[in-house]
Amino acid sequence: MSFGRASEWYEQKYGKKAAKTPWRKMHLSIDAEMNVHAIAITGTDVSDIEGMDRVLPDDIPIDRVTADGAYYSIERTEALSRSGVLPVISPPSHAVVHGEEQTQWDDKVVGYIKEKGIYAFHKKYGYGQRSLVEAQISRIKRCIGSTLLTRKIGSQDREGVVIANILNL
């Protein structure tokens, strides 16, 4: 998401034109009924994996995490798998089977994709549910807009909470 008059803010703060418009990432934690449980607005310097850490609930028992490939890391999926959570995160197309003790889940998924194909993975693990989250993000942009109104990251976090509360209503 962009944020309100970001180029003007950048020019005023640094005294020069912005080479490109600053952006923010919105990370969401949504349940199967499409209720938003957590939302985090981060800068582009924060990786998606760190963003996932910010929105995974501690107080709500979860049995599955579905996310797009940007949230994939062997360490993250293995940690989720060992804790009893099914990580439905598509590995990159160049992923390989490692055959090591600490890569059991990754090896299982990559081997399955190599044998049956990516669409078989999507069907077996319900990866299509991710499209509902994408629809929620589209809904946010259509109803509220793709621009955050505040400029500071702390204010944008609070704006994200307001957006989540509006969606949940």
Give me the pLDDT at residue 9, please.
63
Token pair 């005023």 is at which residue?
12
Residues sharing a CB contact under 8 Å with residue 101, sequence separation 6 or more, in sequence order:
none
Q: What is the dihedral of CA 73, 29, 129, 26, to 10 degrees?
A: -80
pLDDT, average across residues 4-21: 68
Instruction: Write a three-state SS string for 43-69.
Output: ECCCCHHHHHHHHCCCCCCCCEEEECH
Give me the pLDDT at residue 8, please.
65
Residue 75 corresponds to which amino acid?
E
pLDDT greater than 70 at residue 7: no
Q: Looking at residue 102, what DSSP letter applies?
A: G
Helix or strand run (H / E) with residue 36: strand 36-43
Number of domains the chain contains:
1
Nearest to 122 by CA among 73, 66, 82, 70: 66
- Round the CA-based radius of gyration of the chain to a whole number and report it: 18
The model's pLDDT over 51-90, given as tens digits with 9 standing for 90+, comes to 898 898 777 788 999 998 889 999 999 999 999 999 999 9
What is d(CA 162, CA 115) in angstroms, rounded to the nearest whole number? 45
Which band of pLDDT confidence, cut at 50, 70 and 90, is reported for residue 3? low
Residues spanned by the domain of 24:
2-168
Q: Is 42 exposed, middle or buried (0-12, 13-18, 19+ CB in 10 A)?
A: buried
Residue 161 corresponds to which amino acid?
V
Determine the longest span between alpha carbons in the chain, in angstroms: 56
